[in-house]
Amino acid sequence: MSHDPAPGVTFFATAAKGTEGALRDELRELGLRGVKADRGGVAFTGGWRDGWRACLGSRVAMRVLAEVGSYPATDAASLYEGARGVEWERHVSSRTTIAVSVVGTTPALVHTGFSAQRVKDAIVDRVRDREGARPSVDGDDPDVRVFARLKGGGATVYLDLAGAPLFQRGWRAASAEAPLKETLAAAVLRLSGWTIDQPLFDPMCGSGTILIEAALASRRIAPGLFRARFGFERWASHGPEDAREVAALRAALDAEITADAPPIAGCDADASAVAAAEENARRARVKVALSARPLSLARAPTTQGHVVTNPPYGKRLSRGAGLGDDLGDAMRRHGGHAFGVLTADDATLQGTGRAWDRAFELFNGDLRCRLALFGPVGGPGGGPRPRRIVR
């Protein structure tokens, strides 16, 4: 069985809330078509190859879902019957394992676990009718991951192309406290206005997520190259011709890698966090200059560039007294740098004594955060400005 080469798949790439705009821009840059931001992600259209390219190339997407069916579903019977009408046998055989998750409810379908069970039953019954044997369920590491969304009296069912979420790049070995997801760090870099040719400094770098994502982007190392295998490579539909195409896509991305990168550096007060960042950078095979020192002594290696950082905040880490003061001092010491500060704690921002020029509201998991952007002190946009939140 081979994938249908004709364009016509509708995809939905999911993203952390508040980062949809960053993902939309990135997918357009990747050359994808029909790109349209929505709540919680970005839709695009194309052939299967376009979905593979998104998996290999997107730094911001969490998952890439392909729509395989959409039908009215208000209760258990209609949810099951609709799912049974989908041509699952194109991708699922009795030898592939599956897992099903459901989001959303209807008045008659209030338990998502039960709804997932009905969709799963429909898939296994349909495959059993055709093959005489049923696919089995593997909740942890399925070959085919299925999502269903219940909304407005209907169900839409999707296949997850990536399998494990895309923030699991493969380079992280060591963790410090409260690491950012790689996908969120990539989105924050984009939203902060940093571009891949600019120096970057993170004075509270923790496990180094922001720095490593920046170093990878600078060297044009596609995030998917760290993954040995994506979910779609385990589907029944993925034949030898598809495997050759994916290998060619990987080779083309490999050829884009450059050796040059701007200076990328960081520090952290916690020496064990710095050790974790060093280990992660080594595994990602990127160069990041790191040292253990507090924010009050932090010094970027260049006079101009970007500082992008994620200070500790109340709910996940205890807050250091005077952090806002130290951050304000760091801004004055780095007058030629634009600052992007991601925090759930406005007290840290207010403590700097500066008004941000622009702010994005975005979510780190369930935690509502602000990414506040401050222009260089001396440069255009450096003065106090009205605060503007972009949603």
Ligand X SMILES: C[S@@+](CC[C@H](N)C(=O)[O-])C[C@H]1O[C@@H](n2cnc3c(N)ncnc32)[C@H](O)[C@@H]1O
Residues 233-262 that bind ligand X (CB under 6 A): none
Choices 33-41, 66-74, 105-113, 312-320 (CB under 6 A): range interacting with ligand X: 312-320
Residues 276-305 that bind ligand X (CB under 6 A): 294-295
* Angstrom distance (rounded) from CA 74 to CA 118: 13
Residue 317 engages ligand X in binding (rule: CB under 6 A): yes
CB-count exposure of residue 217 (10 Å: 0-12, 13-18, 19+): buried
CB of 326 to ligand X, least distance (A): 6
Write the binding mask 167 to 206 for ligand X: x where contact by CB under 6 A, - elsewhere. ---------xxxxx-----------------------x-x
Q: How many CA atoms lie within 13 A of 280 on its CB side?
A: 30
Nearer to ligand X by Cβ, of 18 and 46: the residue is 18
Nearer to ligand X by Cβ, of 96 and 280: the residue is 280
Member of 192, 207, 218, 237 binding ligand X (CB under 6 A): 207
Nearer to ligand X by Cβ, of 99 and 330: the residue is 330
* Angstrom distance (rounded) from CA 165 to CA 5: 25
Residues 104-163 that bind ligand X (CB under 6 A): none
CB of 176 to ligand X, least distance (A): 5
CB of 213 to ligand X, least distance (A): 9
Q: Residue number with the shortest CB distance to ligand X?
A: 206
Sign of CA dihedral 78, 83, 84, 87: positive
What values do phi and psi take at 45, rounded to 5? -125, 160
Residue 92 engages ligand X in binding (rule: CB under 6 A): no
Member of 320, 353, 381, 382 binding ligand X (CB under 6 A): 320
CB of 253 to ligand X, least distance (A): 25
**CA torsion, points 384, 386, 390, 391, in degrees to nearest 10?**
130
* Angstrom distance (rounded) from CA 298 to CA 319: 18
CB of 181 to ligand X, least distance (A): 8
CB of 374 to ligand X, least distance (A): 18
Residue 380: which residues within 8 A CB-CB, separation 6 or more?
A: none
Nearer to ligand X by Cβ, of 231 and 312: the residue is 312
Residue 74: which residues within 8 A CB-CB, separation 6 or more?
A: 106, 107, 108, 109, 153
CB of 186 to ligand X, least distance (A): 12
Q: How many CB atoms lie within 10 A of CB 229?
A: 10
What values do phi and psi take at 211, rounded to 5? -65, -45
* Angstrom distance (rounded) from CA 76 to CA 124: 16
Residue 266 engages ligand X in binding (rule: CB under 6 A): no
Q: How many CA atoms lie within 13 A of 304 on its CB side?
A: 4
Residue 268 engages ligand X in binding (rule: CB under 6 A): yes
Binding site for ligand X (CB under 6 A): 176-180, 204, 206-207, 209-210, 268-270, 273, 294-295, 310-312, 317, 320, 323, 326
